[in-house]
Amino acid sequence: MNLLDATHDPALRSWVESANAADTDFPIQNLPYGRFRRAGSDEPWRIGVAIGDQVLDLKLAAEQCPWGESVAGLLQPLAEGNLNSFMALGAPARRTLRAALSAALAAGSEQGPFLELCLVPQAAVQMALPCQIGDYTDFYTGIHHAVTVGKLFRPDNPLLPNYKWVPIGYHGRVSSIGVSGQVVQRPHGQTLAPGAAEPTFGPCKRLDYELELGIFVGAGNALGQPKTMEQAEADWFGLVLLNDWSARDIQAWEYQPLGPFLAKNFASTVSPWIVTQEALAPYRAAFERPAEDPQPLPYLSSAFNSAAGALDVTLEVWLATALMPTPQKLMQSNFRDAYWTVAQLLTHHSSGGCNLQPGDLLGSGTISGPMAGQGGSLLELSNGGKAPITLASGETRTFLQDGDTVILRAFCSAPGRARIALGQAAGTVRG
Ligand code: MN
């Protein structure tokens, strides 16, 4: 299957000059969707497309620019600020609108003079969550994270035997998901201090982040009718960055036998722009399992998944502190190292009959790299709090302090392909 078309041409240029900069997150080959309004206004939220340092306002674009009939129909729910309705339409709608937006934003387009009037600088907008999130599930596909953390929690038994057979996950909470810029209140909770006989209640002492990707479901499935791998591959809409803030001391005390609860539900932060799977098509990669590992069961296997189910997305964590306002990069990893692909997560989630719905959010789990220093959480980088890391400011950290700002970033780049980035998910801890 050839997933690439004219919209991926690395030579394509836009009449929006900032979209042609080599280091922009949002070149014309990206075209991610977000929900915005002009900063300081109380106008209704509307859907826009990021292009360079601008936002194309799809409400204005629908009203003020000539479009073909099929495209005008697709723009209607977006003009009303409803991304979920568009997500539900699946792959054909995504591809049709992508082609139309790419042509309209391309240098020399006859629609350019109309759309110039529909641009808003990103610096002048406020972003909301990109869609209405119905349900949120967090998976655990980062095997390097699972092994390292497993050693800390269970030295004798780091990786439980089910890990290589079944995608592990838990149902999370939607109400506390916020968009980049979120202020995260340090949670209080019940913890058991080392050596103590009884727990106490108080502020979290081991506050952490988790470097994850968030997968938005596009077209859903009816209750009792699981997705096949082929349907799942067509039906995921796109990716955002996801910080699954975690209270490690609360987690360690509460997590058995039913898994994470209050240690995870006080905040989660996503980046504002959903990068569609079409934009990521040039960065698909083979899904490979080590020879000694079990191959996925048939319901989680497909020829396409083996050939191109994985994604080559570089992930980074940056940290700024009250004393160090310029962020410092803490680590880098790659989503290719995930143990399961996006299609496998949707397929498995629906395999018992669970109905996924447009706008549902699936977290990838913390994506750590295989090497020391590639942990996607402070729990890993500080070896469970035993080995503080030293920052450029001379400060040290085992876990987060009040005033710390965690910034997740992600991008795809390769010779001969346009750079595609996800922007950032930033959040600041408040005591
Ligand atoms: Mn997580």
pLDDT of residue 155: 87
pLDDT of residue 1: 64
| Cα–ligand 1 centroid distance for 366 (angstroms) | 6
Helical H segments across 202-299, by residue range:
229-235, 248-254
Q: Are strands 275-276 and 236-243 parallel, antiparallel or unpaired?
A: antiparallel
Q: CATH for 136-430, among 3.90.850.10, 3.40.50.300, 3.40.50.720, 3.20.20.70?
A: 3.90.850.10
| Cα–ligand 1 centroid distance for 52 (angstroms) | 31
| Cα–ligand 1 centroid distance for 257 (angstroms) | 17
Residue whose pair of structure tokens reads 């006080």 in the numeric block: 266
| Cα–ligand 1 centroid distance for 222 (angstroms) | 27
The count of other CB atoms within 10 Å of the CB of residue 7 is 22
> What are the CA-CA distances from residue 96 to residues 56, 90, 180, 235 (Å)?
17, 11, 29, 15
| Cα–ligand 1 centroid distance for 29 (angstroms) | 30
Q: What value does the CA radius of gyration of the chain take, rounded to a whole number of Å?
A: 22
pLDDT of residue 153: 80
> What are the CA-CA distances from residue 158 to residues 163, 167, 423 (Å)?
10, 16, 34
Which positions of the chain have pLDDT values less than 50?
none
| Cα–ligand 1 centroid distance for 92 (angstroms) | 32
- The answer to whether the predicted template modeling score (pTM) of the entire model surpasses 0.95 is yes
**Contacting residues for 329 by C-beta, under 8 A, at least 6 apart:** 316, 317, 318
148-175 pLDDT per residue, tens: 999 988 888 889 999 999 999 999 999 9
| Cα–ligand 1 centroid distance for 353 (angstroms) | 24
Cα 50 to chain centroid, rounded: 16
| Cα–ligand 1 centroid distance for 136 (angstroms) | 11
Distance (Å, whole) CA 431 – CA 373? 28
> What are the CA-CA distances from residue 87 to residues 34, 48, 162, 206, 389 (Å)?
12, 14, 33, 38, 42
Contact 420, 398 (CB under 8 A): no
Token pair, residue 306, equals 């083996």
* Angle at the Cα of 280 from the Cα atoms of 277 and 281, rounded to 5 degrees: 90
Residue whose pair of structure tokens reads 């996503």 in the numeric block: 270
The count of other CB atoms within 10 Å of the CB of residue 360 is 26
The count of other CB atoms within 10 Å of the CB of residue 123 is 8
The count of other CB atoms within 10 Å of the CB of residue 65 is 21
pLDDT of residue 124: 98
| Cα–ligand 1 centroid distance for 212 (angstroms) | 7
| Cα–ligand 1 centroid distance for 266 (angstroms) | 13
| Cα–ligand 1 centroid distance for 54 (angstroms) | 32
Beta bridge partners of 239: 215, 275
Distance (Å, whole) CA 126 – CA 121? 11
Residues taking part in catalysis: 145
| Cα–ligand 1 centroid distance for 246 (angstroms) | 8
| Cα–ligand 1 centroid distance for 243 (angstroms) | 8
Residue whose pair of structure tokens reads 């969707």 in the numeric block: 33
| Cα–ligand 1 centroid distance for 163 (angstroms) | 15
Whether the domain at 6-128 and the domain at 136-430 fall into the same CATH topology: no
Instruction: Please report, as a single letter, which amino acid is at residue 216.
Output: F
pLDDT of residue 2: 79
Distance (Å, whole) CA 39 – CA 43? 9
Token pair, residue 193, equals 């201090």
Instruction: Please report, as a single letter, which amino acid is at residue 308.
Output: A
CATH dotted code for 6-128:
2.30.30.230
Q: Where are the domains of the chain?
A: 6-128, 136-430
